[in-house]
Copies of this chain bind each other. A is one copy, B any other.
Amino acid sequence: MTEQTEKQRAKKKQIIAAAIRCFVEKGFHATSTAEICKAAGMSPGNLFHYYPTKNAIIEAIALQDQADFATLLQLEQVTDSTIETVITIMTRLIQLYNEPTYARLSLEIIAEASRNPAINNTFIKNEKIVRQRLVDILRHGVSNGQIDPELSIENTASWLMTIADGAIGRDLMEPEFHLADRLGSFIYIIKKILMPIK
């Protein structure tokens, strides 16, 4: 029984990996299920057994994304500094968003989401999880005096998410962008945004 589940999980992983390769290369819209079958080395019947539609595959990718976000929001080292906590989350987010495959897939999905409400809803949900976490942390920081009380919490969380989203595939727009060189400035800017004005 467990072995069977292992096998199924492996099959699903194989399909998702193949689909991601196809979507990155050709685009979500331009990829057919036949192409995903070919890339996964699987028959259409077999693929259909796991994912009946291309949308079901995108849904699975979004759930994987949700799991990635959950890991990213798990802070092993709880620090007393609210600002440091925000910086850790933002840095992890931006690092994830700069992984080439993740970035290209995200751009593809965002473009598709603008036309496809089902895809859009799943990604809205994921974005909301991270934003709500930022809201909670910022609120805590205002209450303990570490965060500028003049900031609107909800709006600030939203602009922080805007910065992160803008970093998706940044090097496409700016080939000289290397995250490692820019991270120091990023942290400095986030600190300035959040600190109380003395």
Tell whether, in the assembled complex, residue B115 and residue A172 are in contact, meaning their CB atoms are under 8 Å apart.
no
Chain B nearest CB from A113 CB (Å) reads: 6
Assembly stoichiometry (copies):
2
Interface SS majority for chain A: helix
Near B by CB (< 8 A), chain A positions 150-198 give: 150-152, 155-156, 158-159, 161-170, 172-175, 177, 181-182, 184-186, 188-189, 192-193, 197-198
Q: Which residues of B contact A104 (CB under 8 A)?
A: 114
- Other than the given A162-B167, A163-B166, 18 more pairs (CB < 8 A) read A25-B115, A27-B111, A29-B30, A104-B114, A107-B107, A108-B111, A110-B111, A110-B169, A110-B173, A113-B172, A120-B172, A124-B173, A124-B175, A127-B173, A158-B177, A158-B185, A161-B174, A192-B192
